[in-house]
Structure 1
Amino acid sequence: MSKEAFDEMSVLSAIYCEKGEFELLEESPERGIVYRIHTLTERDNEKTPLGLIFHISPNYPHTPPDISISSCHLSRKECHDLRQQLLDTARSLPPEPMIHGLMLWLQENFSDLIKTSSCHSAEEYTHRQKTVKVDVDSSGKRCKEKMMSVLCEIPQLEETRMLSTFEVKDVLSLDDLKSEFDLVGLTELYDQFVPSLI
């Protein structure tokens, strides 16, 4: 391992010095070093916890690190997209210690990256419903969803809470349904579309 890699790891462990923020997972001359950084990123005045694992190869910094990202507040696709963006950014940087720079870049760009990922998710979701066998018919055979219709498509409003996962909820009354819309800031949408469908 290069002295640069060890010096950088020492600096990172000093920056992320709170309990559980920095954790050395593996260190070997053949495989390099692996460490985890736990951090909080801010999006829409909400803190999102992220766990990033960096695998630093013996050729680092001439070879960029491998990275994995996890978060209980993000979907698997959002984590995958963030990882891809970080890897692309790492490949574009000069061959010098870059982990702290990548962490700063992630903090600065997190909100925009998640919005982009979520937009693509919504388009892939509606496309997938119509083109892939995601449902079952009355006889139990897998089939495509043909009954789904999109009520409206509007830009996301400031007060709307971003949903990171798909969830099916059973509501027992119209009041319960309206409450669900209220919770995510879509009261106006409810008032405009739902009563005409009942």
Structure 2
Amino acid sequence: MSELALEELSALAAIYCEPDACEVLAVSETHGITFRIQISVKELLDTDVLLKLLFHLPVNYPSTLPDISVSSDQLTRAQCVDVKDKLLEQAKKHLSEPMVHDLILWVQQHLKSVMKQSATVCHEKTTLSKGTSAEDGIWMLLLHLDHMRAKAKYVKTVEKWASDLRLTGRLMFMGKIILILLQGDRSNIKEYLILQKTSKVDVDSSGKKCKEKMISVLCETKVQAQQKRFQTFEVKEYPTLDELQKEFETAGLTALFSEFVPPLLK
């Protein structure tokens, strides 16, 4: 793990030392550091905007760009994605040097202009996004969840994330098997994964809110021409394995089913 990343995290913790303002979510010798910083941006639309910035610093950071996620109760998901895109543009200017603090300062100084630009080019950006999706292709993600204790709330959260990120697919229940199959732009797929792994989506055995710790990424790949594109996101329960298999077969995903689903029954 990069010594620079550890030193930078220590410095950030000293700067953003208010309760809950800086939280380390994961530290790994093989995957790097994931942490969340919460900042307040003043004088935007006559109100303070509370931004939650999630950074994942890979092991070879800063030679490799960080992954960034942006969320805020005062901004729409589309606006948050615009802010994230601008931050990634700025990050490229600081490649090979510690950059998180510079990115935080930048967003504090430029959030208002980003929002104005976002509103101005909203229609054009939507058109461009559709074109880019067609060019780059649609990606697919298959996840396996071990369990859901607070099922109703969990399902509602997954549906909201899929809607916000314009992802289609299925949340599938068959006996004890729980699968999430998503299709959409690759950047939105990655955004979903960050939300899934870092948000308190369930409750533990004592009823306390907790993050999802028992999730497996079974497959992440580009959707092929012969495979069906789901038009909506639906929650479905299947009484038998055959019914679940038919769902995959109808979508042209027979090989995906055969490779990943039967082993879950063992």
Secondary structure of 1:59's match?
coil
Match of 1:151 in 2: none
Please state how far the C-alpha of 1:45 moved relative to its aligned partner: 3.6
Kept after mapping to 1: 8 A contact 2:65/2:95: no
TM-score, with structure 2 as normaliser: 0.45
Please state how far the C-alpha of 1:126 moved relative to its aligned partner: 11
Please state how far the C-alpha of 1:124 moved relative to its aligned partner: 5.5
Structure-2 change in CA distance of 1:125 and 1:103 (3 Å):
closer
Match of 1:24 in 2: 24
State the AA in 2 paired with 1:119. T
Determine if the alignment matches structure 1 residue 56 to structure 2 residue 57.
yes
Please state how far the C-alpha of 1:120 moved relative to its aligned partner: 2.1
Residue deviations 1:161-190, cap 9 Å, x none?
xxxxxxxxxxxxxxxxxxxxxxxxxxxxxx
Residue deviations 1:13-47, cap 9 Å, x none?
01110001000000001110000001111214411
Kept after mapping to 1: 8 A contact 2:26/2:33: yes
Match of 1:74 in 2: 75
Residue deviations 1:106-139, cap 9 Å, x none?
1111100011112223x46999xxxxxxxxxxxx
Map residues 1-198 of structure 1 onto 2, 5 A cutoff.
1-42=1-42, 43-121=44-122, 123=123
State the AA in 1 paired with 2:72. S
TM-score, with structure 1 as normaliser: 0.60
List runs of 5+ in structure 1 lacking aligned partners: 128-198
Q: Which runs of 4+ in 1 moved over 3 A?
A: 123-127
Please state how far the C-alpha of 1:91 moved relative to its aligned partner: 1.1
The alignment-based identity, stated in percent, is: 40
Secondary structure of 1:60's match?
coil
Secondary structure of 1:8's match?
helix
Aligned residues: 126
Query: What is the RMSD of the two structures over their aligned residues, measured on CA atoms?
Result: 1.8
C-alpha distance in structure 1 between counterparts of 2:93 and 2:126, whole Å: 33
State the AA in 2 paired with 1:55. H
State the AA in 2 paired with 1:34. T
Of 2-11 and 39-48, more deviation after overlay is shown by 39-48
C-alpha distance in structure 2 between counterparts of 1:59 and 1:87, whole Å: 17
C-alpha distance in structure 2 between counterparts of 1:45 and 1:104, whole Å: 20
Secondary structure of 2:121's match?
helix
Of 83-92 and 38-47, more deviation after overlay is shown by 38-47
Structure-2 change in CA distance of 1:21 and 1:126 (3 Å):
closer
Secondary structure of 2:88's match?
helix
